[in-house]
Structure 1
């Protein structure tokens, strides 16, 4: 997505956010939307079963070079979201992005700047920014 698309999306959110324009409303809706993303993913596991989680301790050889760590760490996921679950997860992620963008608007922060700043941060710190 280009900077222009992000800016247009941010303007669209600004134009459409009417009922919950209060900072308190937006922050609570952002938190709620994050929970709904988590709930949709949980339901994909527990109700649909299209994805499965098998988790255990993440381990790697202590003498392995850092470049190889990705080969040892697992996502703990197997399977793939079915079309139905993917639609729901994407919808909930979209709502979460809407409220994140609304927060940016209320605080007069450019969503493009947020993304660019994080990208710069990741590029600058590189491997020291392991998350």
Structure 2
């Protein structure tokens, strides 16, 4: 099965939007779906335990070169997501993407353009895209 393009997905979301035509409704559902992604990640840590966090100061300094800082930076995560947690997080991310697409539709913004412009910005700014 081939994954749909972002444009195809955005079009599909537009066809499925019956109840969520209000921008306020979509914005709040998007926020709620984002919280659900975060909650699923937290459950992978606190309930399942397949991943854990070991957060410490990254130890960056003003004099440090960017490539050295990149090599030194850590995710603070240990372990790998189990199949169940990965599926739960993927499902919540899908809902989040659905509402992002719905918001793009209502605001007449092309999701592929958003991704392309962000990719161009990353390519152009490189390390300086650290916002």
Both structures adopt the same fold (TM-score exceeding 0.5): yes
Deviation of 1:20 (Å): 1.5
- Counterpart for residue 46 of structure 1: 46
Deviation of 1:61 (Å): 5.7
Distance 1:60 1:14 in 2: 45
- Counterpart for residue 74 of structure 1: 74
- Counterpart for residue 128 of structure 2: 128
Distance 2:63 2:22 in 1: 52
Deviation of 1:93 (Å): 0.2
SS of equivalent residue, structure 2 residue 109: coil
* Unaligned segments of structure 1, at least 5 residues: none
Distance 2:129 2:5 in 1: 28
Distance 1:125 1:60 in 2: 20
- Counterpart for residue 65 of structure 1: 65
Deviation of 1:62 (Å): 5.0
SS of equivalent residue, structure 1 residue 109: coil
Deviations along 1:22-41, whole A, 9 cap, x unmatched?
10100000000000000000
- Counterpart for residue 56 of structure 1: 56
Aligned-residue Cα RMSD (Å) equals 1.3
- Counterpart for residue 106 of structure 1: 106
Structure 1 runs (4+) greater than 3 angstroms displaced: 60-64
* Unaligned segments of structure 2, at least 5 residues: none
